[in-house]
């Protein structure tokens, strides 16, 4: 049998997508004697707006064998326990979307079912009282999970805030140490074979003609291979996701960093504030139909918590996805594969998912059609699920700004309409296997957006109210006590990331790094 193994991979584009891919492939495929080359152009600045992530990023970091504390220190990262939504449902309102689970079920009755029964009866607190992630975030506290069975400390779930450029630079060092070769160059032309439509080679600005078995397109919105060479097409989802502009600026931090992202509804979209160790990241995502670029920039600068550190950057984008992200011998990752918007931090996540699926269906030089079809189908399903989750934030609101009123008229995909109706009928949440967001995410946003069930799940009546009440009181007390015992977010970072922690020496915070 002839050897059909992939021997060479070329990644077009650096940035977060390119270096995440290079790091993951150089680690996972280290035994395959694979040549990995990354082409990165100094002429093209990476967008690098992604500063917030969701919990699966921690799996990516662990799979690479990276020490979490070292990474957090080196890229000035902070921890993220969820997202706070201010003025979103209506002006003056606030709700929190926490990561991780809330309370345990009772017998066969899940937490959300018995909590909703008591909430509808006015006998339960807000969801934030039963989620250690929400309670800790709103108190400015953080800790990693510890082995403490039957307590909320056992399942603390978190992600990171980081500067995407610093993250990419960190991963570049990781990948180059594992044999990835970087070339600073620019793709001028991609040669496509007439016999089968595969990309055969790239002609670089330097004059080099570069061939490979597998090409990975991380060239951003341009999609120089997946679209420029292979013309796969793009599905524009602007009719579902109304924002298509962004203004981004860094600012001084005026207070210790909170362990959550704050998003605030504005007249024509929404504003984010993301705390890093050394600064805040800020952005205004808006619809060009309801705001000019100049007005958006002015409003963002007027609403910063601290002094602006740079000139604002303006971006335009078309929410949607590439019709197929893998075609022939080209796989598109990152913005080349699609972009929804940053509200729920899905951009970096979809890079990670694309890499994971590529490794799951890693090809040989025959590029089996069934593998490619399954890859594309899986990512299409996940993109659609995330689209529905984002659209729910826009369509279920009571705000009276013209932009938000127009959002209430957006026709919902049947998949989202069904989810909302199932929840409104009996508070049921059906999570598909490929859903990016877990049940608690759907629950917190639905309740936060004032989607109220007409009735509770009849299954809950197998439990008497006294038992439910006792469980909720026990859970609420446990959450409060655990949060009270946590260090502040800033204290945790200082203790965990000091260089002396490995020896147990005293860190700048005065606490032993091992305590």
Q: Are residues 152 and 206 in the same domain?
A: no
Q: Are residues 211 and 330 in the same domain?
A: yes
374 within a domain of the structure (yes/no): no
Place of tokens 């089996």: 368
By the 10 Å C-beta count (0-12 exposed, 13-18 middle, 19+ buried), 152 is classed as: buried
CA 290 to each of CA 90, 285, 337, 387, 407: distance values in angstroms, whole numbers, following the listed order: 18, 11, 27, 21, 12
Q: Are residues 403 and 473 in the same domain?
A: yes
Q: Are residues 476 and 391 in the same domain?
A: yes
Q: Are residues 290 and 194 in the same domain?
A: no
Place of tokens 């000139």: 311
Domain end marker among 336, 367, 398: 367
15 within a domain of the structure (yes/no): yes
Q: Are residues 306 and 329 in the same domain?
A: no
Residues 6+ away with beta carbon under 8 Å from 56: 349, 352, 353
- Domain with 38 in it: 8-51+163-236+319-367
What number of residues does the chain have?
Answer: 515
Q: How far apart are CA 150 and CA 157, in angstroms?
A: 16
Q: Are residues 472 and 395 in the same domain?
A: yes
Catalytic, 123? Answer: no
Q: Are residues 479 and 336 in the same domain?
A: no
Q: Which of the following is catalytic: 80, 117, 328, 419? A: 80
- Give, for 306, the enclosing helix (H) or strand (E): none
Residue 60 near residue 51, CB atoms below 8 Å:
no
457 within a domain of the structure (yes/no): yes
Per-residue pLDDT of the chain (515 residues; tens, 9 = 90+): 578 999 999 999 999 999 999 999 999 999 898 999 999 987 655 555 558 999 999 999 999 999 999 999 999 999 999 999 999 999 999 999 999 988 899 999 999 999 999 999 999 999 999 999 999 999 999 999 998 888 899 889 999 999 999 999 999 999 999 999 999 999 999 999 999 999 999 999 999 999 999 999 999 999 999 999 999 999 999 999 999 999 999 999 989 999 999 999 999 999 999 999 999 999 999 999 999 999 999 999 999 999 999 999 999 999 999 999 999 999 999 999 999 999 999 999 999 999 999 999 999 999 999 999 999 999 999 999 999 999 999 999 999 999 999 999 999 999 999 999 999 999 999 888 888 999 999 999 999 999 999 999 999 999 999 999 999 999 999 999 999 999 999 999 999 877 555 434 334 333 333 32
504 within a domain of the structure (yes/no): no
Q: Report DSSP letters for 152-190, one per residue.
A: GGGG---EEE--HHHHHHHHHHHHHHTTPEEEE--EEEE
> Sheet of 245-251: strands edge to edge?
94-98, 82-86, 261-266, 269-275, 280-286, 245-251, 313-316
Residue 421 near residue 427, CB atoms below 8 Å:
no
| Number of structural domains in the chain | 3
> Sheet of 187-192: strands edge to edge?
187-192, 199-204, 209-211
Q: Are residues 204 and 332 in the same domain?
A: yes
Q: How far apart are CA 26 and CA 173, in angstroms?
A: 12
In CATH, what number is assigned to the domain containing residue 223? 3.50.50.60
Domain end marker among 277, 298, 316: 316
Secondary structure in 3-state letters for 93-153: CEEEEECCCCCCCECCECHHHHHHHHHHCCCCCCHHHHCHHHHHHHCCECCCCCCCCCCHH
Secondary structure in 3-state letters for 27-41: HHCHHHCCEEEEEEC
Q: Are residues 252 and 153 in the same domain?
A: no
503 within a domain of the structure (yes/no): no
Q: Are residues 354 and 456 in the same domain?
A: no
Q: Are residues 409 and 461 in the same domain?
A: yes
């Amino acid at each position: 049998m002839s050897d059909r193994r992939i021997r060479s991979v070329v990644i077009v584009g650096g940035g977060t997508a390119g270096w995440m891919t290079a790091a993951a492939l150089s680690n996972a495929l280290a035994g395959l004697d694979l040549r990995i080359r990354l082409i990165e152009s100094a002429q093209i600045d990476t967008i690098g707006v992604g500063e917030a992530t969701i919990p699966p990023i921690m799996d990516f970091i662990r799979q690479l064998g990276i020490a979490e504390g070292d990474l957090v220190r080196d890229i000035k990262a902070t921890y993220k326990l969820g997202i706070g939504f201010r003025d979103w449902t209506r002006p003056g309102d606030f709700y929190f979307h926490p990561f991780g689970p809330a309370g345990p079920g009772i017998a066969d009755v899940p937490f959300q079912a018995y909590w909703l029964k008591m909430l509808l009866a006015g006998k339960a607190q807000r969801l934030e009282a039963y989620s250690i992630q929400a309670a800790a975030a709103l108190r400015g506290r953080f800790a990693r999970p510890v082995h403490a069975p039957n307590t909320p400390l056992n399942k603390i779930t978190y992600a990171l805030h980081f500067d995407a450029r610093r993250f990419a630079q960190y991963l570049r060092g990781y990948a180059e140490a594992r044999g990835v070769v970087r070339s600073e160059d620019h793709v001028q032309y991609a040669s496509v074979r007439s016999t089968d439509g595969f990309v055969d080679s790239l002609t670089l600005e330097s004059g080099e003609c570069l061939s490979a078995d597998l090409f990975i397109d991380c060239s951003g919105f341009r999609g120089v291979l997946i679209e420029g060479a292979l013309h796969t097409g793009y599905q524009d989802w602007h009719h579902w996701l109304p924002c298509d502009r962004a203004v981004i600026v860094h600012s001084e931090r005026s207070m210790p960093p909170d362990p959550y992202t704050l998003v605030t509804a504005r007249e024509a979209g929404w504003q984010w504030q993301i705390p890093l160790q050394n600064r805040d990241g800020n952005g205004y995502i808006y619809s060009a139909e309801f705001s000019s670029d100049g007005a958006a920039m002015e409003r963002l600068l007027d609403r910063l918590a601290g002094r602006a550190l740079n000139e604002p950057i303006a971006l335009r984008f078309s929410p949607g996805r590439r019709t197929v992200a893998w075609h022939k011998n080209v796989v598109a990752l990152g913005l080349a594969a699609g972009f929804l918007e940053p509200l729920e931090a899905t951009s970096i996540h979809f890079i990670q998912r694309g890499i994971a699926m590529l490794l799951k269906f890693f090809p040989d030089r025959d590029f089996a059609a069934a593998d490619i079809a399954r890859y594309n189908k899986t990512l299409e399903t996940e993109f659609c699920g995330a689209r529905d989750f984002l659209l729910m934030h826009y369509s279920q609101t009571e705000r009276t700004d013209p932009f938000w009123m127009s959002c209430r008229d957006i026709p919902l995909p049947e998949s989202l309409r069904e989810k909302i109706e199932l929840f409104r009928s009996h508070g049921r949440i059906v999570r598909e296997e490929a859903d990016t967001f877990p049940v608690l995410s759907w629950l917190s946003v639905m309740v936060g957006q004032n989607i109220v069930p007409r009735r509770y799940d009849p299954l809950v009546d197998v439990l008497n109210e006294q038992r439910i009440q006792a469980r909720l009181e026990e859970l609420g007390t446990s959450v409060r006590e655990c949060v009270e015992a946590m260090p502040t977010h800033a204290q945790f970072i200082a203790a965990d990331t000091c260089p002396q922690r490995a020896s147990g020496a005293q860190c700048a915070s005065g606490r032993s790094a091992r305590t």
